[in-house]
């Protein structure tokens, strides 16, 4: 699951960088301008700029900064050899998944729509049937995936974790989310591995079978049905 989420993270970084830069092609570091974000989310955008972007670029006035840019040679190269011009696609390499989602969620409606349309197009590229991926769906998907990505990264239990404490915000939902973001072959592989893991766990602990499935949000028959749906998509 972790590797699949990192692929989704990479896709979000690439699409956000492309769509934001496409609207501001001739400006130096336009992501530092709060006027280019959703005016309704301006305080959050300013916080992102000040606490994340300016810290990475060492423009925050912190005396602890030593000009090494967190040991990131690619940032130092841009700052020192290109007059401080750091393209967003370069900066994005230094962002966490959560910070990337934050960036997406404070974008102008035009950028957010363009990102959603890009993911819709990426889905269509590897599936037989189209699927419209909306801004609202992307917000929900990425909030969940950040939660499960952090659990995976810290070796915490995922199978019974519920995002935001809600019964329907479970690991099975997160597996389903990845179906919107990965190409068809990658998702088939992920879903096959997930199904095999569920089968091994429930076979090893038959007395806990229903409790395990319930904790994951899985209805047993759905696993086989969903695999067929993926193949036909």
Q: How far apart are CA 166 and CA 89, in angstroms?
A: 35
Which residue segment(s) compose the domain that 38 sits in?
A: 2-183
Q: Is residue 220 part of a domain?
A: no
**Count of domains in the chain?**
1
Please give the model's pTM, rounded to 2 decimal places: 0.88
Q: Is residue 222 part of a domain?
A: no
Q: Is residue 153 part of a domain?
A: yes
Q: What is the pLDDT of residues 65-108, one digit of tens each?
A: 666 666 788 888 888 888 888 899 999 999 999 999 999 999 99
CA torsion sign, 82 to 84 to 85 to 91?
Answer: positive
Q: Is residue 28 part of a domain?
A: yes
Q: What is the pLDDT of residues 197-227, one digit of tens each?
A: 888 888 899 888 889 888 888 877 777 777 6
Backbone angles phi, psi at 107, to 5 degrees: -70, 160
Q: Is residue 38 part of a domain?
A: yes
Q: Is residue 216 part of a domain?
A: no
Q: Is residue 66 part of a domain?
A: yes
Q: What is the pLDDT of residues 138-171, one digit of tens each?
A: 999 999 999 999 999 888 888 888 887 776 789 9
Q: Which residues contact 208 (CB under 8 A, 6 or more apart)?
A: 202
Q: What is the pLDDT of residues 110-137, one digit of tens each?
A: 999 999 999 999 999 988 888 999 999 9
Q: Which residues contact 222 (CB under 8 A, 6 or more apart)?
A: none
Q: Is residue 123 part of a domain?
A: yes
Confidence at residue 193, expressed as pLDDT on a 0 to 100 scale = 92
């Amino acid at each position: 699951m972790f590797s699949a989420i990192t692929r989704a993270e990479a896709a979000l970084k690439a699409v956000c960088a492309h769509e934001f830069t496409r609207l501001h092609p001739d400006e130096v570091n336009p992501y530092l301008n709060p006027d280019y974000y959703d005016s309704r989310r301006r305080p959050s955008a300013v916080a992102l700029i000040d606490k994340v972007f300016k810290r990475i670029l060492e423009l925050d006035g912190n005396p602890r900064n030593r000009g090494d840019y967190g040991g990131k040679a690619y940032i130092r190269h841009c700052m020192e050899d290109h007059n401080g011009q750091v393209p967003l696609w370069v900066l994005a390499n230094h962002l966490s998944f959560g910070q990337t989602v934050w960036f997406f969620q404070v974008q102008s409606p035009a950028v957010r729509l363009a990102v959603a349309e890009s993911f819709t197009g990426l889905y269509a590229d590897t599936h037989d049937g189209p699927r419209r991926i909306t801004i609202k769906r992307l917000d929900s998907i990425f909030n969940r995936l950040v939660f499960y990505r952090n659990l995976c990264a810290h070796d915490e239990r995922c199978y019974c974790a519920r995002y935001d404490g809600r019964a329907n915000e479970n690991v099975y939902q997160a597996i389903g989310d990845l179906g919107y973001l990965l190409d068809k072959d990658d998702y088939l592989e992920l879903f096959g591995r997930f199904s095999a893991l569920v089968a091994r766990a429930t076979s090893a602990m038959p007395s806990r079978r229903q409790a395990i499935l319930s904790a994951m949000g899985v209805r047993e028959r759905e696993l086989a049905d969903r695999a067929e749906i993926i193949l036909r998509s």
